[in-house]
A = this chain, B = another copy of it.
Amino acid sequence: MNIYDVAELAGVSIATVSRVLNDSPNVAEKTKQRVREVMEEHSYVPSGFSRGLGLNALKTIGLICPDAADDYMAKAVAYLEHSLRDYGYDCILCCSGYAYEDCQIAVSALLRRRVDALVLIGSVYADDDPDSEQVNYIREAARQTPVFLINGYVRGENIYCAVCDDYDASYSAVKEMLAAGRRKILFLTDVHTVSTNLKRKGCEAALAEEGLALQGDLNVGLSNQINQTRDYLLKLRGLDVDGIFAANDALAAGALKYAKRRGLAVPGDLTIIGYNNSELSVCCDPELSTIDGRESRLCQIAIDSIKLCLSGRAASARVFAKGYLIRRGTTEF
């Protein structure tokens, strides 16, 4: 039951519902009554957004991500903002970049605003070791306000993490590549984070079981435009691979363009797997096989945890979501 349902059932606009919630004098008494009856009948609890100019204002949650223009993070920001507004909270957004010190500064900047919670989007805020001292700045922040991580795990009081099992998802996908006869697999990334490390380790574990190693662990750099990835691969001398596992879909799309330029059949000569199931993956021809990193699920887990914490109940320190391969045109299995 949300404001749209109330508006529809009462036969008024949502602006009118909002005005009723605020007891505005600009709504006829009869209309007010009708709207209130609908609300009571359906036990409707108004959210901050629906209140519009409402009463219990100034509840704020800080959202921090490295780059709000990145497809994965943009979707997470939109999901979180929408859900949190529905729950009555405004969101302050802070794009920190990827540098460790900038991440610290971003957290400090939002603590200064006395936010009711902090949500950190992306594994760049975590460390490979959940007990690492590197992330003490997050533990310190958690002394002031609850901290929620999307796809990162930091162990500590008042810290709640939703993580995709990137290791397992990558391991399983590479097992399938190997079963399909691939032997020379390249790992492609654009930044080293906890998440990309897990993806790489998952690949390595699957290869190790066959006595194989990665053909390379290439970091194309954060200028990961599709054509830059293509050109980067074209410039490598003697690149001889039959499988590419990319840490995101833009990198995989670049790998596909590399294959076309080289005259390699995909997936005949070269299997390609991307990550994130973004719009790019269906834009490619053939469409990219890609791992769904379960971003919406991670966001929903964080929202659920936030609601528990902010209403004084217990939330889980870590909840997993299972990533899985979406089979499209760049794999034969």
- A residues near B (Cβ < 8 Å) are 13-15, 18, 48-50, 52-54, 57-58, 60, 63, 67-71, 74-75, 77-79, 81-82, 85, 90-95, 99, 101-102, 104-105, 108-113, 225-227, 250, 253, 257, 260, 279-280, 282-285
Q: Which residue of B lies closest to A3 (CB)?
A: B105
Q: Is the interface of A mostly helix, strand, loop or mixed?
A: helix
* A109 B92 Cβ-Cβ under 8 A: no
Residues from chain B with a CB closer than 8 A to the CB of A226 are: 279, 282-283
CA distance A103 to B284 in the complex (A): 35
Query: A49 — which chain B residues lie within 8 A by C-beta?
Result: 105, 109
Given A257-B285, A279-B280, 17 more contacts at CB 8 Å? A48-B109, A52-B105, A52-B109, A58-B113, A60-B92, A63-B93, A68-B77, A68-B81, A70-B74, A82-B95, A85-B95, A253-B283, A260-B285, A280-B280, A283-B283, A284-B285, A285-B285
Q: List 26 A-B contacts (CB under 8 A).
A: A15-B104, A18-B108, A49-B109, A52-B105, A53-B108, A57-B112, A60-B92, A69-B75, A69-B77, A69-B79, A71-B74, A71-B279, A74-B77, A77-B77, A77-B93, A81-B93, A85-B95, A85-B109, A90-B92, A90-B94, A90-B113, A91-B94, A92-B92, A92-B93, A226-B282, A250-B279
> Taking the full assembly, how many copies of this chain does it contain?
2
Q: A13: which B residues are within 8 A, CB to CB?
A: 101
Question: Closest CB-CB distance, A77 to chain B, in whole Å?
Answer: 5
Q: How far is the CA of A85 from the CA of B65 in the complex (A)?
A: 14
Q: Which residues of B contact A85 (CB under 8 A)?
A: 94-95, 109
Interface core residue of A15, A75, A93, A225 (most chain B CB under 10 Å): A93
With both beta carbons as reference points, the residue of chain B lying nearest to A105 in the complex is identified as B52
A92-B91, A101-B13, A225-B282 known; A68-B57 Cβ under 8 A: no
Residues from chain B with Cβ under 8 Å of A93 in the complex: 63, 77, 81, 91-93
Bound-complex Cα distance A52 to B94 (A): 12
A102 touches B53 (CB 8 A): no
Contacts of A105 in B (CB 8 A): 14-15, 18, 49-50, 52
Q: Are A95 and B81 in contact (CB under 8 A)?
A: yes
- The answer to whether A90 and B109 have CB atoms under 8 Å apart is yes
Chain B residues, CB < 8 A from A108: 18, 52-53
Contacts of A58 in B (CB 8 A): 113
B contact residues around A75 at 8 Å (CB)? 69
Q: Are B15 and A101 in touch, CB under 8 angstroms?
A: yes
Determine the chain B residues whose CB is within 8 A of the CB of A282 once the complex forms.
225-227
CB distance from A72 to the nearest CB of B (A): 10
User: A285 to chain B: which residues have CB within 8 Å?
Assistant: 257, 260, 284-285
Q: Write the nearest CB–CB distance from A128 to chain B, whole angstroms.
A: 21
Q: How far is the CA of A66 from the CA of B205 in the complex (A)?
A: 43
